[in-house]
Amino acid sequence: MSLLARPLRAAVCTVLVLSGCVTAGPAAADEPSCGHGRNLRYVVTFDRGTPESTARAQVTGACGATTVYYPQIAVAVATSGDPSFGTRVGLDRAFSAQAERLAAQRATEVKPQPARATLPVTDPARVPTADLSDRQWDMRMINAGHAPGVSDVSTGSRDVVVGVLDSGIDPDHPDLSGALDRDDSAGCLTGAPDRSPSAWAPTTSVHGTHVAGIIAAADDGHGVTGVAPGVRVASVKVIDDRGYADPEAAVCGLMWAASRHMRLTNSSFFVNPWTLSCIRGDDRGVVHEALARAVEYSTSAGTLNVAAATNEAVDLTPSARSGSPGAGSGCEALPAALRDVVAVSAVGSDRVKAGYSSYGLGVIDVTAPGGEAGECVLSTVPGGYAPLCGTSMAAPHVTGVLALLASVHPDAGPRQLRRTLDNQAMPMPCPADYDLTGDGTQDAYCAGYEGFNGFYGHGMVDALAAVAPRGRPDPAR
């Protein structure tokens, strides 16, 4: 299957004619009357190779303003107060998550989700100093942290920078302050990178700080220890104060990470505005196209992207025969389902796929601890430490293992790192019985075999294997 969803409509090369917005007649007299409404953001795709001047002219001609244009992938982020902007550009090329949410609110008369409470500023002196490593069952499961035989070889290299595409990383947390790469951090909520600390710091969510701790919390005898202490993490803020990760923010984050030559990114989110990853249509095609191009480009630039499979408990297997077990639901999780992304499912402390974790043969690459209710994953949060559950927690375990691999093998490219990760994973067979509720019916169907299946992919990641002498990357790219 091609990485890109489908070919786009050919762009007009000489005279810009966008749904009647620009005509070949006299300029002033025939220019359209732009509508006025709420100013909204759009992600806009163009034919590959479209010059920036042409893209900007088309956006302007459609009554919009260009925030940023990424010529490497021919994707723009634009704003417009004209309700017809999407139609003028072409609904197969423009999409606004903000407009989608507003339309849903009008249709259902649901009030907009309020912003969350602002996080308090962390006082490093008040963060608990007790050693919490004995509560890190997740690290022992993947042979990381202070598992026997691991602690003396699991320090990562400061040359490895991991972009944490999330809600921001607390710069004052003592377990993360030494790992945080402020120079490579940026806020991406507008679709264009903003390097000011206020743009990338967390404001309402502990999520990004928790994810960063799983990857790189210091091994200092206090609090928790990450999979790859010693590597650096960059705060790339793509999740806003209401918990939304819009397409333009995700594209910005991926492109920023590539431009800063980060070895890895971690995406513990799925792109909004949909509450389910099963929505399809032309707008979904635009989002898929933009993200697929960004991932494809970042991979070619040397950045390997890891993403959570989502907590929707849906079968992400590409549909083959609708209605039969293992045929797939037609759902697509973005960015996890994209070809060049390492997609991660979650298991509980019992090493069985967590009930919430999405899955799918040919989509899930590996699995890692995400926890279940009552035994979640302990990590850093502003002001201290807390347990959280989800594929959001599973993904950074994988990113941490890859960071160790990248530390040991500094010249390995994304495909080499990924192939080595897969080869070193501990195979996990499909469970013989997956009846979590005890009602006599299977809660999900696991297709595949021990070495590769829809629940666990190639298996459980192994941090010790990543740094052991046998952890050599495959020379084939």
Task: Give me the sheet containing 65-70, strands edge to edge.
Answer: 65-70, 75-80, 40-45, 94-95
SS3 for 115? Answer: coil
User: Among residues 173, 175, 207, 407, which one is catalytic?
Assistant: 207
CB neighbours of residue 11 within 10 Å: 17
- 261 noted as active-site residue: no
Is the backbone peptide bond immediately before 171 cis, with ω within 30 degrees of 0?
A: no
Do the bridges between strand 341-347 and strand 366-369 make them parallel or antiparallel, or are there none, so unpaired? parallel
Residue among 379, 394, 330, 339 nearest 362 (CA): 339
- 166 noted as active-site residue: yes
Gap between the Cα atoms of 62 and 307, Å rounded: 35
Residues 6+ apart with CB under 8 A from 183: none
Residue 27 host element (H or E): helix 27-30
User: Among residues 392, 397, 407, 422, which one is catalytic?
Assistant: 392
User: Among residues 82, 138, 166, 181, which one is catalytic?
Assistant: 166
* Residue pointed to by tokens 């993904």: 395
Query: How far, in Å, are 41, 64, 70, 122, 180 from residue 58 at the CA level?
Result: 16, 9, 15, 46, 39
Query: How far, in Å, are 275, 288, 470 from residue 237 at the CA level?
Result: 20, 20, 36
Could you please report the per-residue DSSP string of 138-173?
A: HHHHTT-TTSTTTTTT----TT-EEEEEES---TT-
Gap between the Cα atoms of 264 and 270, Å rounded: 17
176: DSSP letter: T
Catalytic residues: 166, 207, 392
